């Protein structure tokens, strides 16, 4: 729940209203389809209420957050400038009233005054309704602590950072600079609107509209793929795709999307543990893990979701190539390219050029 809003009845309706206008912005859907989406997302409002919000200008009074400003302030600014040119005798209050009749949020009169007098412009990044937004939100909820504590992405893989920057540009028109520091590839984007999507739980609206793009961002952030091996028998029997997250709601939402697309997924809960280290107690994070098993799941996952980063791409391609071999032959081929460390599988050497070319061709 957003820090800006409480849990009272009026606040529940405000959150439902915010979800409604976000759905309308992203999809252009009519009242009935939006109402059905709201119910699926857990917003319990009547279709008459949605109708009043969309068609009778019955907007809720609330202070627009950085999200609503990113959605509507640039449009409001353009309207203010055009209306002032068409009606030079209109004051800022009348122009503000005109804007508020045509947009789903209320823009303060003083803000309009500064706009039409040339003293300021909207100081926020505009958002476009596009699938790339779903990817950004997937990355966001993959590690919301990273987004909360920092000002952008901070990851070990450069390809991931470049792809994220590409999707950010598609969504906002802003080109992010990528730089390396202390072994991490970083972007700087003080995107308050992204953080607000998390705090308000409106990330679920974006994930509902762009489900596969959402999963792509989520798995790029916190997903993994690995073989299921019997080392004693030197046999590779199956594969496992996993997703780790510290938020139960994120895992549950991702699981529902996967099931909707025909992928069977199961959950595992790891409760927090208290460990003593150097005389001090430290509590580990509570985690939920989402699992998918089997060759059919891997093939469907690779087709629908996959990974954008080359190491995990190569791993999936090799596993799919080994699928139709005998378990012992799979293990032999797999062991040519990967060794087992104490924690996970490590790549010995880059795989043969043919696989890399196939990856490049798909890009």
CATH number for the domain harbouring residue 313: 3.10.28.10
What's the pTM? 0.88
User: Rounded mean pLDDT of 192-216?
Assistant: 96
Among 164, 181, 209, the domain boundary falls at: 209
> pLDDT confidence of 146, banded at 50, 70, 90?
low
Question: Collapsing DSSP states into helix, strand and coil, what is residue 42?
Answer: coil
What's the pLDDT at 148? 57
Any alpha helices (H) in the chain, and if so which ranges? 9-27, 31-40, 47-55, 66-86, 92-102, 109-116, 131-142, 144-149, 158-172, 192-199, 203-209, 211-222, 248-260, 295-304, 310-322, 327-337, 353-362
Residue 68 lies in a domain: no
For residue 359, what are its two tokens? 């990856």
| 86 & 157 share domain | no
| 299 & 351 share domain | yes
Residue with tokens 């004051």: 91
| 175 & 143 share domain | yes
| 318 & 240 share domain | yes
Is residue 263 a contact partner of residue 302, using CB atoms and an 8 Å limit? no
Smallest CA-to-CA distance from 200 within 8, 12, 10, 9 is with 12
| 291 & 228 share domain | yes
Distance CA 273, CA 284 (A): 5
Distance CA 205, CA 164 (A): 20
What's the pLDDT at 127? 94
Summarised one tens digit per residue, pLDDT across range 269-322 is: 998 888 777 777 777 788 999 999 999 999 999 999 999 988 999 999 999 999
Residue 191 lies in a domain: yes
Residue 214 lies in a domain: no
Is residue 301 a contact partner of residue 254, using CB atoms and an 8 Å limit? no
| 356 & 318 share domain | yes
φ and ψ of 269, to 5 deg: -105, 130
Distance CA 133, CA 217 (A): 10
Is residue 171 a contact partner of residue 130, using CB atoms and an 8 Å limit? yes
| 28 & 157 share domain | no
| Residues with Cβ within 8 Å of residue 153, at least 6 apart in sequence | 139, 146, 160, 161, 164, 185, 186, 187, 189
DSSP per-residue codes, 248-276: HHHHHHHHHHHHHTT---EEEEE---EEE
**Please, how many CA atoms are within 13 Å of residue 140, restricted to the half-sphere of its CB?**
29
Residue 69 lies in a domain: no
Highest mean pLDDT among 138-152, 154-168, 180-194, 210-224: 210-224
For residue 29, what are its two tokens? 């859907």
Residue 67 lies in a domain: no
Among 178, 209, 240, the domain boundary falls at: 209
| 313 & 347 share domain | yes
What's the pLDDT at 9? 61
What's the pLDDT at 5? 41
Q: What is the CATH number of the domain that holds 154?
A: 3.10.28
φ and ψ of 277, to 5 deg: -140, 120
| 173 & 101 share domain | no
User: Rounded mean pLDDT of 145-172?
Assistant: 84
With the C-alpha atoms ordered 76, 81, 83, 89, is the resulting torsion angle positive or negative? positive
Among 189, 209, 229, the domain boundary falls at: 209
Residue with tokens 């706009």: 115
Residue 19 lies in a domain: yes
Residue 265 lies in a domain: yes
Residue 2 lies in a domain: yes
Q: Give the gyration radius of the chain's Cα atoms.
A: 24
What's the number of domains the chain is made of? 4
Summarised one tens digit per residue, pLDDT across range 330-354 is: 999 999 999 988 778 888 865 554 4
**Residue range of the domain that includes 58:** 1-62
| 339 & 249 share domain | yes
| 173 & 250 share domain | no
| 203 & 226 share domain | no
Distance CA 68, CA 105 (A): 8
């Amino acid at each position: 729940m957003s820090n800006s809003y409480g849990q009272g009845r009026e606040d529940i309706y405000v959150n439902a209203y915010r979800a409604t206008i976000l759905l309308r912005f992203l999809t252009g859907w009519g009242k009935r389809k939006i109402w059905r989406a709201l119910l699926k997302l857990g917003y319990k409002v009547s279709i008459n209420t949605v109708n009043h919000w969309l068609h009778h200008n019955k907007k809720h009074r609330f202070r627009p957050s950085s999200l609503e400003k990113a959605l509507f302030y640039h449009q409001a600014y353009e309207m203010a400038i055009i209306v002032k040119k068409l009606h030079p005798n209109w004051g800022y209050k009348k122009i503000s009233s005109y804007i508020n009749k045509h947009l789903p949020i209320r823009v303060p009169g003083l803000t309009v005054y500064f706009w039409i007098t040339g003293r300021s412009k909207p100081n926020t990044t505009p958002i476009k309704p596009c699938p790339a937004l779903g990817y950004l939100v997937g990355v966001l909820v993959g590690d919301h602590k990273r987004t909360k504590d920092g000002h952008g992405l901070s990851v070990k893989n450069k390809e991931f950072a470049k792809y994220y920057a590409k999707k950010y540009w598609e969504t906002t028109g802003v080109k992010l600079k990528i730089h390396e520091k202390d072994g991490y590839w970083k972007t700087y984007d003080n995107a308050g609107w992204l953080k607000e999507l998390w705090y308000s739980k409106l990330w679920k609206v974006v994930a509902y509209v762009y489900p596969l793009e959402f999963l792509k961002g989520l798995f790029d952030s916190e997903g993994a793929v690995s073989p299921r091996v019997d080392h004693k028998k030197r046999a590779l029997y199956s594969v496992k795709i996993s997703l780790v997250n510290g938020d139960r709601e994120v895992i549950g939402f991702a699981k529902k999307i996967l099931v909707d697309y025909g992928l069977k997924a199961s959950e595992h809960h790891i409760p927090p543990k208290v460990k003593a280290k150097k005389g001090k107690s430290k509590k580990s994070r509570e985690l939920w893990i989402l699992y998918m098993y089997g060759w059919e799941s891997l093939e469907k996952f690779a087709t629908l979701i996959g990974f954008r980063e080359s190491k995990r791409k190569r791993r999936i391609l090799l596993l799919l190539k080994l699928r139709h071999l005998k378990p012992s032959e799979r293990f032999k081929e797999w062991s040519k390219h990967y060794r087992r460390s104490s924690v996970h599988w490590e790549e010995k050497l880059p795989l043969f050029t043919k696989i890399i070319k196939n990856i490049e061709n798909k890009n």
